Amino acid sequence: MDYKDLANLIFPDAKEISYYEEKYKKRDLPEGAIVTRFAPSPTGFVHLGSLYQVVIARKMAKQTGGVFFLRVEDTDQKREVENGVTGIIESLRDFGLTPDEGMINETEEIGEYGPYKQSLRKDIYQAYAKHLLEQGKAYPCFATPEELDEMRAKQEAAKIRPGYYGVWAKYRNLTVEEAVEKIKNGDPYIIRLKSPGREDRKIKHHDVIKGNVDFPENDQDVVIIKADGLPTYHFAHAIDDHLMGTTHVIRGDEWLSSVPLHLQLFQMLEFKAPKYAHIAPIMKEDDGGKRKLSKRKDPEAAVSYYTEIGVPKEAVSEYLLNIANSNFELWRKQNPNSDVSEFELQLNKMSVSGALFDIVKILDIAKTVISKYTAGSIYEEATNWAKTYDEELYNLLQDKEYALKVFGIERGNAKPRKDIAKWSDVKENIEYMYDDEFYAKERNYEYQKVTDKELINKIITLYMEKYYNENDDKQTWFDKIKDLAEEVGFAREVKEWKKEPEKWPGHVGDISTVLRVALTSKANTPDMYEIMQVLGKERIFRRFEEATK
């Protein structure tokens, strides 16, 4: 009896690996094209750190004419969550990061290299496990849980490296006959790799992000096929990345220490190993120190957080590119209107230690992103968001024609307003433009510099009676406010007042503020002329009269 007989006994129905090698053709892609993937377990939760990996991986694929695919790694069925795949797919879609291939919902997929869900690839893994068994590169291990516990206890007591390796690998050297007998006997078993590695030897590895790293070789006889017949992640990923033509494995650096094992697997399976790029996690400042952004402690670690508060998806992706390559910021400054697809991301320029998370920066980017939207897109996006998250805002936006006028204020010009960072800011931002809301809320008439009620009333009344004309263009409108300033003894020009501030109680800006506050009950608003255009005479006068009461 030889290894072949053992392999046949264990996997009688498995196909020859040549079947799969021929079935999955080499990809026909341009030179330098990167094929990469996002390979989550279907736990439903998408961490900002995962989105970060996706943004990077997908961008690298896109900018080289390659392929980005989604592979669901569901071989650890204990960790699975119902509809976990949908959660992931929806998050990617929400952020405009749909993959080129892979799962598109719980059950369907696109692409020629599937199935893209590991639990459906059992036959493939078993074929390769059989192939290793045939060559004596893998073996059945009959260790019972008690035996393994005992081994661990001994290793702990002797303070030696834990694991199933070397002399501890009790079933590594069974003869084929002994193994066959145990199997025929019905003894339960799993399949382990017969590692040729030695702990006292080093491998050199060049990581695209981390640079050169040295590791001891892997000498653990890791499990490759579990008792349920499914592979472990380590074994499955090597076969999948080989058959799916992955050129670059781009993933979180918690996997860096698995590289010796992964390279060994590729070698033993006689596959060409992909390049590895291990991304440092996103960090957060905490109590003067730094720690990983945490699913448990930080609400902003969940990508759903950004959807819920309504940060536009491009802003989140742009932020992530920003922390991926520090030269992005300069590029953005020089190319304020370019699409991010024009930025060339470089893996080897990524930071080796983690980037620091900064919500202020995300919101800042979001403000710029939104400032470039048309009134129409703001309307669409805000309505869409409000439909799920804010009924009041949704109702406010029902009058589309009016809402478009409101969103059109100071927009579409060279320096558009930058006051909205997220859709949850919109209500507060536009409420005063709606009479029902304006009168229902307590108004905040704080006129800043001018505090004398009599003077305030005089300014407002004069403005209504003498200076307001709904047909004035902006220049005339503003000249009239200057006239009004002069009439009440204030400086016409801010500049003049600055030269001799003792000469007047204030300047035209203070008069504008009185009018602005009376009109909107806010000291800061976008352009008052445009606001007046949208409100119209009747509504303006009603507000002014209300303010003078």
Residues that bind ligand GLU (CB under 6 A): 39-41, 73, 233, 237, 249, 251, 255
Which CB atom, from 20 or from 233, has the smaller least distance to ligand GLU? 233
Phi, psi of 35 (to 5 degrees): -110, 120
Q: How far is the CB of 53 from ligand GLU (least distance, A)?
A: 8
Q: How far is the CB of 89 from ligand GLU (least distance, A)?
A: 16
Which CB atom, from 87 or from 310, has the smaller least distance to ligand GLU? 87
Which CB atom, from 88 or from 396, has the smaller least distance to ligand GLU? 88
Q: How far is the CB of 409 from ligand GLU (least distance, A)?
A: 47
Which CB atom, from 83 or from 461, has the smaller least distance to ligand GLU? 83
Decide if 378 contacts 370 (C-beta within 8 A): yes
Q: How far is the CB of 395 from ligand GLU (least distance, A)?
A: 42
Which CB atom, from 131 or from 234, has the smaller least distance to ligand GLU? 234
Residues 6+ apart with CB under 8 A from 432: 438, 520, 521, 522, 525
Which CB atom, from 102 or from 140, has the smaller least distance to ligand GLU? 102
Task: Residue 294: count other Cβ atoms within 10 Å of its Cβ.
Answer: 13
Decide if 318 contacts 341 (C-beta within 8 A): no
Which CB atom, from 245 or from 312, has the smaller least distance to ligand GLU? 245
Residue 67 is encoded by which pair of tokens?
């392929």
Q: How far is the CB of 253 from ligand GLU (least distance, A)?
A: 11
Decide if 115 contacts 75 (C-beta within 8 A): no
Which CB atom, from 72 or from 535, has the smaller least distance to ligand GLU? 72
Q: How far is the CB of 74 from ligand GLU (least distance, A)?
A: 9
Residues 6+ apart with CB under 8 A from 74: 41, 42, 80, 117, 118, 119
Closest CA to 233 of 207, 265, 202, 210: 265
Angle at 427 between CA 424 and CA 429, to 5 degrees: 100
How many angstroms separate the CA atoms of 75 and 72, rounded?
Answer: 9
Q: How far is the CB of 180 from ligand GLU (least distance, A)?
A: 34
Q: What is each CA distance from 319 to 37, 72, 289, 435, in whole angstroms?
A: 21, 26, 22, 37
Q: How far is the CB of 49 from ligand GLU (least distance, A)?
A: 10
Residues 6+ apart with CB under 8 A from 192: 138, 139, 140, 141, 164, 169, 171, 172, 221, 222, 223, 224
Q: How far is the CB of 138 from ligand GLU (least distance, A)?
A: 21
Which CB atom, from 130 or from 251, has the smaller least distance to ligand GLU? 251
Which CB atom, from 40 or from 140, has the smaller least distance to ligand GLU? 40
How many angstroms separate the CA atoms of 281 and 53, rounded?
Answer: 9
Residue 260 is encoded by which pair of tokens?
């010796």
Q: How far is the CB of 218 from ligand GLU (least distance, A)?
A: 16
Q: How far is the CB of 63 from ligand GLU (least distance, A)?
A: 20
Half-sphere exposure of 184 (CA within 13 A, CB side): 10
Which CB atom, from 294 or from 377, has the smaller least distance to ligand GLU? 294
Which CB atom, from 237 or from 284, has the smaller least distance to ligand GLU? 237
DSSP 3-state percent helix, strand, coil across the chain (nearest 5)? 50, 10, 40
Q: How far is the CB of 241 from ligand GLU (least distance, A)?
A: 8
Closest CA to 140 of 165, 170, 116: 170
Decide if 102 contacts 68 (C-beta within 8 A): no
Q: What is each CA distance from 413 to 337, 374, 417, 526, in whole angstroms?
A: 14, 10, 9, 13
Which CB atom, from 130 or from 262, has the smaller least distance to ligand GLU? 262
Decide if 252 contacts 281 (C-beta within 8 A): yes
Q: How far is the CB of 282 from ligand GLU (least distance, A)?
A: 15
Decide if 459 contacts 404 (C-beta within 8 A): no
Axis-axis angle for helices 233-243, 122-134 (nearest 10): 100
Closest CA to 318 of 91, 56, 90: 56
Q: How far is the CB of 45 from ligand GLU (least distance, A)?
A: 11
Omega within 30 of 0 (cis) for the link into 115: yes
Closest CA to 10 of 125, 126, 120, 124: 126
